[in-house]
Each structure stands twice: as C-alpha cells, then as structure tokens.
C-alpha cells in the first residue's frame, strides 16, 4: 500500500494512501493556492468544578457549512474548486485548516506534563496544543464508511493505524482519537465521506472514567466485559479477531461496541490479519445500521484508544457507534437528566435493540450477496 507525503501551500501535512493496485499515478500535483497564514493555536480553559479543559477555538466559526458538491473542499482540486487536496486520490489525510487543537505542540507559557493539567484552580488557561487531521475516505462528494468497497475500507484502516503511530510520537500528545461523524442530525457540515483524528494534550474525561473503573475492578475489565458479551444475546457480529455487540447498559437507541478479541491498545498495534477482518466486519456493521430504516442512519463512530503514555496493557481499543435515532422520524435529544446531570435513561432495551440491529445487518449482507451474484452473472 503506497503512501505519498506532501505539504499544502501553508505548510500543513498531506498524506495520500493508495489502494492496492490503484490506477492512480505516483506523481501528485502541488498545491498552487496562495499561502494563507494559519490561525493561532486556540486556548483552553479549565472548569474548576470538574477539572475538565475546554478548548475555545473561535477560528472554527468560519469553517465551510454544507457547500454544494461542485465546491466540496475535500474533493480533488479543479480550476473552479481549489480544494484542500490538489490531486485525485483514494484516501487522503491532511491537517485541519481550522483545528480545535494545534498546530503548536508545546506550550511555552506553562509547565509540561499531566500534573499541571490535573491541578484545580480558578481562571486557569493553557494553549490548546495538539493536532487535528481530516481523513478523506474517497474522492466522491457523498457517502460514508459504509459506502466504501472492502478494499477502500482496508486502506482507511491502514491510514488510521499509521496516523495513530505517527501522532503518538509527537511531543505533547497524550491521546489519539479517530472518529467519523455522519449525518446532519449529528452536526455534520460536509457531506463528503470523511472522518477526523484528534490528538489531545491530555487524557480525555471519558478515558479518565475508564481508568477509574480499571482501578476499582482490576486489569481484566475489558477481557471480562468481552467474555460476558460474547455469551449474551446482544452479539451482532463476530469473527476470529473482532466481536461487535450492543452493550449491557447501552445509553443510545442505537449503540454498538466492537472489541478486538485480544488486548490491543490502539490501531498501530493491530496485525495485518486483524485489519483485513476489520475492513469486512466494520463495513458490514455500518451497512446494517443504515438498513434499519429507509434512510441512512446518523451516527458517531468513535474509536477509543489507550492513552499514549499510560494503561497500554489494560485499556483496549474499542469502537463505539452511537445514534440518537429512536424511530424512523424521531431522535433522542439529550435534555434535563442526561445533559445537565449525566444521568441517562434508555429508550430501548439493549436486547431488543440487538435483535433489530442483528436482523438489519443480516438483511443488508444478504442483499449485498444477491447484488454481487447478479453483477457477476
């Protein structure tokens, strides 16, 4: 799988990942746009009630919002659309023009390390160091991971693995988070099939809660969760290397988790065989979720990875796909109890949700098989 590293006109990194057997030439066009100054790195402020850090990235107010297809900023550049990507591509990854974290990787005004960030005080502010990248799944202007071929899905997974490795080596990075937002109901501002990778200067609040659970339960927490779920009626898909299931205490109407069957801290630690199987199972899962209703399902597909410098042997790589869609024409909104108090109320029994999702996955897979048979006849 070939990779081609380039720079955009303002100095941002751009990496092309080619499908095996791609028809694209190895040469790629230069970014001929006039270089524009990058926005200053945002500042983050601490909430003293929770200790959490909030990045105030006002530059993101000016990002593109649902442009027409001919002005898609993630499509290959044309004379009429000087986009972010100068050449045609299979998969492309580049630094976000309007990042929530970065481009600075060090904070000259504050001591380094997590001890400084963990302290509680009033009026505390730090530089939002880090890196935010955009992962373009395809040159097509519409779609999602589910609409990719298995070959292209495998290329995206390779990009996630390599970028996780590279980003984890950068100074100041504590956690790397690949994710895909899909659908306007989630807040997507571009229809182009793409995801993002955030690299944080701290261990995220969600992962800190997982660490607290590990400290209370013990290092076998993920292994025991997986074993219990594999024995339940909530399993959706299973393979030699991966298992997908609706969790015992699902929060969302549609919520599926996927775990590797062995301890893996992040994508960079996966084997080629594990990546191969994941390309098939993950795509099948998302196509099934899309088949639950007559229109595509909005979702957040979040790949939780172990922090860069801690708990590498007991926090396991985990996919969490969540959707607020509770019926064909109804969404679950986070109102008083969930939004204000973090006290969740489930709308659908997890076992019922698992049966619905499993049936949709099986129906979508059968339909795909029939279409493949017709195409080859």
What pLDDT does residue 375 have? 65
Q: Tell me if 57 is assigned to some domain.
A: no
User: Given pLDDT bands bounded at 50, 70 and 90, which one contains residue 314?
Assistant: very high
In this predicted structure, the answer to whether residue 286 has a pLDDT above a threshold of 70 is: yes
Tell me how far apart the alpha carbons of residues 90 and 332 are, in angstroms, rounded to a whole number.
35
What pLDDT does residue 368 have? 86
Catalytic residue among 6, 192, 194, 257: 194
What pLDDT does residue 377 have? 58
In this predicted structure, the answer to whether residue 355 has a pLDDT above a threshold of 80 is: yes
Tell me how far apart the alpha carbons of residues 363 and 350 are, in angstroms, rounded to a whole number.
20
- As a whole number, mean pLDDT of residues 9-22 equals 97
What pLDDT does residue 374 have? 63
What pLDDT does residue 44 have? 96
- As a whole number, mean pLDDT of residues 23-44 equals 94
Q: Tell me if 221 is assigned to some domain.
A: yes
Residue 244: give the domain boundaries: 3-37+64-97+130-376
Q: Tell me if 111 is assigned to some domain.
A: no
* CATH code of the domain covering residue 25: 3.30.428.10
- Please list the residues that pair with 238 across neighbouring strands: 243
Q: Using one digit for the tens of pLDDT, what is the confidence trace for 40-76?
A: 999 999 999 999 999 999 887 777 778 899 999 999 9
**Which segments of 47-103 are extended strands (E)?**
53-56, 91-95
In this predicted structure, the answer to whether residue 9 has a pLDDT above a threshold of 90 is: yes
Lowest mean pLDDT among 60-69, 210-219, 346-355: 60-69
Q: What is the mean pLDDT of the chain?
A: 95
Q: Tell me if 46 is assigned to some domain.
A: no
Q: Tell me if 112 is assigned to some domain.
A: no
How many residues appear in the chain?
377
In this predicted structure, the answer to whether residue 108 has a pLDDT above a threshold of 70 is: yes
What pLDDT does residue 64 have? 78
Closest to 192 measured CA to CA, from 207, 182, 179: 182
Q: Is 165 a catalytic residue?
A: no
- As a whole number, mean pLDDT of residues 216-235 equals 98
What pLDDT does residue 376 have? 60
What pLDDT does residue 330 have? 94
In the chain, how many domains are there?
1
CB 314 within 8 A of CB 276: no
Q: Tell me if 42 is assigned to some domain.
A: no
């Amino acid at each position: 799988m070939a990779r081609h590293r380039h720079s955009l006109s303002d100095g941002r990194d751009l990496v092309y990942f080619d499908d095996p057997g791609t028809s694209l030439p190895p040469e790629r066009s230069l970014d001929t746009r006039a270089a524009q100054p990058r926005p200053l790195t945002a500042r983050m402020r601490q909430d003293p009630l929770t200790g959490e850090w909030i990045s105030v990235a006002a530059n993101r107010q000016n990002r593109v919002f649902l442009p027409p297809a001919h002005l898609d900023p993630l499509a290959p550049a044309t004379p009429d659309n000087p986009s972010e990507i100068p050449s045609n591509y299979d998969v492309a990854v580049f630094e976000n023009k309007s990042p929530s974290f970065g481009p600075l990787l060090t904070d000259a005004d504050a001591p380094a390390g997590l001890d400084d960030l963990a302290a509680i005080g009033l009026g505390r502010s730090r530089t939002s160091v880090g890196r935010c990248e955009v992962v373009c799944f395809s040159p097509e202007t519409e779609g999602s991971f589910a609409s990719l071929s298995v070959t292209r899905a495998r290329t995206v997974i390779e990009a996630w693995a390599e970028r996780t490795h590279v980003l984890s080596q950068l100074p100041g990075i504590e956690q790397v988070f690949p994710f895909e937002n899909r659908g306007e109901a989630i807040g997507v501002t571009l229809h182009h099939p793409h995801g993002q990778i955030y690299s944080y200067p701290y261990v995220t609040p969600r992962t800190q809660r997982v660490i607290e659970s590990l400290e209370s339960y013990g290092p076998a927490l993920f292994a025991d969760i997986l074993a219990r779920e594999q024995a339940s009626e909530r399993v959706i898909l299973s393979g030699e290397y991966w298992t997908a299931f609706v969790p015992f205490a699902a929060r969302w109407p549609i919520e599926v988790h996927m775990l590797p069957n062995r301890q893996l801290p992040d994508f960079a630690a996966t084997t080629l065989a594990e990546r191969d199987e994941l390309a098939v199972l993950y795509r099948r899962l998302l196509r099934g979720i899309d088949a639950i209703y007559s229109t595509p399902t909005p979702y957040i597909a979040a790949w939780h990875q172990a922090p860069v410098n801690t708990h590498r042997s007991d926090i396991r790589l985990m996919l969490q796909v969540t959707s607020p869609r509770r019926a064909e024409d109804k969404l679950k909104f986070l109102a008083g109890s969930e939004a204000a108090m973090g006290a969740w109320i489930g709308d659908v029994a997890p076992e019922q949700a698992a049966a619905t999702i499993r049936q949709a996955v099986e129906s979508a897979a059968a339909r795909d098989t029939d279409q493949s048979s017709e195409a080859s006849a």
